[in-house]
Amino acid sequence: MRLPRACGVLLHPTSLPGPQGCGDLGEGARRFVDWLAEAGQRWWQVLPLSGLGPGHSPYMSTSAFAANPLLVDLEELAQRGWLEADELVPPRPFPAARVDYPATIAWRHARLERAVRRFDDRADAASRADFALFCDRHAAWLDDYALFMALDEAQPGSGWQAWPDGLATRDAGALARARRRLAPRLRFWSFVQWCFDRQWQALRVYARARGVRMFGDAPIFVASHGADAWAHPRLFELDDAGHPLAIAGVPPDYFSPTGQRWGNPLYRWDAHAAEGYAWWVARVKHALESFDLLRIDHFRGFAAYWRIPMHEATAVHGEWLPGPGAALFEAMERALGTLPIVAEDLGVITPDVEELRRRFRFPGMKVLQFAWGGDIDNPHLPHNHAQDTVVYTGTHDNDTTVGWWSGADAEQRRHLCDYLATDGGEIHWDMVRAACESKADTAMIPLQDLLGLDGRHRMNTPGRAEGCWEWRFGWSRLGEEPARRLSALCNLHRRDGMPLPD
């Protein structure tokens, strides 16, 4: 699909300011929407809103469908009478510049526990009916997710493959007994998802009224220790005990000389095909009920994916195997119609990947940090951008532009300065301007680059297990000047979000 010529900002909600450990869907999110509108922005791009996995990564979630409980706005629960005002005040201030995940998770979950008890005691008939309707409408994934989370709590530190008494193998009797025994915990996990869904949809309505649309992100793979692999083991490359036979990743690339060994289980694409790709259709349908546009991470894995044997310590010694190709997206289109999808087509891109993307008219991605120091045919250079493209100064996996510039080599610096006619004194605005000038239909700017922040503020470092996904900003950094400059650039280069002529 062709996107209107527009610009947006990449910021994960956990990075928003607020006193309760991390950003959420409350007043801070609305304030940020107001800022986006003031800056002439038409998109708010987020990272996956799913729950966190190892290293607190949103790309290794316990569910492809469920949302992160940390994002629930506790203030809204207090307004409904399910929390008390003094319960919203932490005993000691949380860090303002980063998320302390262990402390934040413990504190916020304790409030959610209180909220569900108060809901059971105090909720009116309309709220109870809405909760019941949500549980019924989402039962296909919610029932398994809630039970998985309850069982995981009961056996902390144990992978589902080691769960006893027929639970790992999903014996029907064992599952029924577990549902009865853990009924209050199933209700808790379902209640949290209902709260998130209500609040997210309300935020979408608020944003849409101000001309801002939501741009989501879906990882291609899921976690080995998660509800999806446990509930549907036939769809994944697992042995009889449920352990991965091989895992996902990528060969050596820009980010790592030994490749990236992600650890996710791989799909049995023949099993998905036999079911008409029903799980994938349901997953994308669910995502598109929350987003106006959806980026699918590692799109090249649908053409061919890198299979790493379990015994390999790095991703160097893997092999490319064919993915589902067009059949998957044909099934999606039959079920869902035109797909508002952006293909993350970075890395080793072969002609079959490009053909697959173009066949379904999915915009691809270009990253300006990758453009410099090579030849004039580098596809990331602005003069080589196509209209059906989303151009970024950098992504969540890149350093900030200021951080990248501080480590750029002499050839990269010379090339960029000559190309953009700059001395690099405001390198972040030079790159923002280049993105806005590009003929790519969509430009996306990480908030760190609009604020001119250095590498200490990057969101993620691929291959690093700890210390990522923690960055937060303060409102004092987000003033009128960045909004004014960004709005002026968007006006100058007609990034107004209006439909483009055919």
Q: Hey, which residues are catalytic here? A: 297, 344, 397
Tokens matching residue 252: 């050596």
Nearest residue to 339 via CA among 359, 366, 365? 359
CA atoms of 344 and 366, how far apart (whole Å): 9
Provide the β-strand partners of residue 364.
Answer: 389
Longest dimension (CA), the chain: 70
**40 HSE (CA, 13 A, CB side):** 23
As a whole number of angstroms, the distance between CA 366 and CA 404 comes to 16
Distance, in Å, from the CA atom of 498 to the CA atom of 446, rounded to the nearest integer, reads 22
CB neighbours of residue 290 within 10 Å? 17
Q: How far apart are the first and last CA of the chain?
A: 12
Q: What are phi and psi of 445, to 5 degrees?
A: -120, 120
Residue 442 in tokens: 């969509």
User: Measuring CA to CA, how many Å separate 207 from each of 6, 7, 48?
Assistant: 15, 15, 18
- Angle ∠(467,469,473) on CA atoms, nearest 5: 105
Q: Closest Cα to residue 302, out of 263, 360, 262?
A: 360
CB 40, CB 496: distance < 8 Å = yes
Residue length of the chain: 502
Residues 6+ apart with CB under 8 A from 92: none
Please tell me the distance from the alpha carbon of residue 391 to that of residue 61, in angstroms, as a whole number: 27
CA distance 425 to 90: 42
Distance separating alpha carbons of residues 306 and 336, to the nearest angstrom: 28
What is each CA distance from 385 to 363, 427, 444, in whole angstroms?
11, 20, 14
State which H helix or E strand residue 111 sits in. helix 101-122
Alpha carbon dihedral 154, 242, 219, 330, in 10-degree steps, equals -130
Question: Residue 171 carries which side chain, given as an amino acid letter?
Answer: D
Helix 27-38 to helix 183-209 angle (10° resolution) is 20
